Structure 1
Amino acid sequence: MDASLTTSLLLLSLTGGYSFSIVWKASLFRSVREQGHRLYFRAAFYTAVCFVCALFLNFNFSLYSKDFAGSQDGFWVAISSFASSEIGSGKLPILLVESFVIGVFLPHILNLIVNILDEVCKKIARVPKASLFLIKPAIQHNDFECLICNAFELEVPILLTLKSRKIYVGWVMDGPNPSVERRYMKILPLISGVRGESFQRLNFTTFYSDVYNQLIEDGKGEEGFQEFEVVIPLDQVANAHLFDLNTYQRFSE
């Protein structure tokens, strides 16, 4: 086989591996925060994965299209026959092209499966647990994103204290997304108020639950809730933590 053709097909296969690494959610969430040699190694790794998948598909086709049942070591005979015929007889270009195709289409199929699992999880627990499972490894070194992830997974509101001493307790509306740099945070407030200037004590002044209950009774639901969403620049946040009102009331008595 011509060396230039082999090189071109290897580059094509690497393109498929790179495509896999930036489309498949489990890899995307990590690759967007990597650069240089780490990103190259990730692309090479998924290129190898796609090539192995191509080998596996071709091997199974070869195994079922030929009769190896008569041999005592039929499986190993099949492997030997496959290796000599597929790679040794000049079929490597086909495998490289197949690995490229797998790298382009397989991550979309995997993402579709994750999305379906997310929808199932939302109906059961209202939380996209499949995506969160993939996201966690990518955000493990970002404390704020981990906090957001925990708020989503545990379905617990978050308390934000701004530099102006304004405080919000509310539900996080945008989940963790390692593929973008978070600069703002959108919440649906449950309570708002201010911290005391001297002892930083929480002083709640506004409670939104009665308004939300009225919106639900009026049939406005989510459309009405959107009018109360608050977008907060992260550079204005002094601190943040999960908040449980019942626990707060118990300790503040």
Structure 2
Amino acid sequence: MIQVSAIQATPFVHSGLVSLFVFGLVVALALPALLHLLIRTILGVTDRTLKTHAMYTAEPAPALANLQFQSWEYGIPLLVTLSDRKVYVGYPAYISSSFYSQNDGDIHITPLISGYRQEGDLRLVLNTPYDTVLDEITKSPDEKTADQFTISIPVREIVHGHLFDPSLQDIFHKHSAAPIM
């Protein structure tokens, strides 16, 4: 008769294989991250540039979304003219996901200046200096921030938008030609 002995099961723990596995895992996870940081450092690419690029390419976006991204990227305010000729100049407060909805798209800006377009020639008239008022309010002890004064503008009401640097306004006026009749 053949005698069968019981074989004891022992847990598979081999310190050499486990160490090799852990080392391989660390290298597999850390090497791409380190390589990414090295290449970014060499090319001078910042987190802000990467985030902006990601926002630009995340999904197809309407032209106003790209304008908001450009304002954020370049640090230049945007100007929007509404259908009632009201004008707002400011920085995007945030770009909401509802902007991509066809029915409920709004842009949200922190205003610097507002005004209107004249009825006849649509010349720009700026008359409300939000930046001055906001500076004064945010310095008060009430702990108010500029974010509390964000304006939500329905995209359907915007007839025109562009980047606008108020400090260059005088230069443009100096070089503007008289209206041709």
1:49-100 deviation digits (Å, cap 9, x = unpaired): xxxxxxxxxxxx89x57xxxxxxxxxxxxxxxxxxxxxxxxxxxxxxxxxxx
Matched, 1:241 2:162: yes
Partner residue of 1:129 out of 49, 53, 64: 49
Q: 1:187 aligns with which of 88, 109, 115?
A: 109
Among 200, 205, 208, which residue is 2:127 paired with?
Answer: 205
**CA positional deviation for 1:131:** 2.3
CA distance in 2, matches of 1:154, 1:219: 32
Instruction: Report the TM-score when normalising by structure 1.
Output: 0.46
Query: Which of the two has greater strand per residue?
Result: 2
2:84 matches 1:164: yes
Corresponding residue for residue 154 of structure 1: 74
Aligned residues: 134
Q: Work out the percentage of aligned pairs sharing the same amino acid.
A: 26
Q: What RMSD over aligned residues (CA atoms) do the two structures have, in Å?
A: 3.3
Q: 1 or 2, which has the higher helix percentage?
A: 1
**Paired residue for 1:226?**
147
* Cα offset, 1:189, TM superposition: 0.9
Q: 1:138 to 1:236 in 2, by over 3 A?
A: same
- Could you tell me whether the CA contact under 8 Å between 1:167 and 1:194 is conserved in 2? yes
After TM superposition, give the deviation of residue 180 of structure 1 in Å: 4.6
Contact kept in structure 2, 1:160 and 1:168, CA below 8 Å: yes
Could you say if the C-alpha distance between residues 141 and 203 of structure 1 is closer, same or farther in structure 2, counting changes exceeding 3 Å?
Answer: same
Give the TM-score of the pair, scaled to structure 2: 0.62
Runs of 5+ consecutive residues of structure 1 not aligned to the other structure: 1-60, 66-105, 111-124
Distance 1:133 1:151 in 2: 13
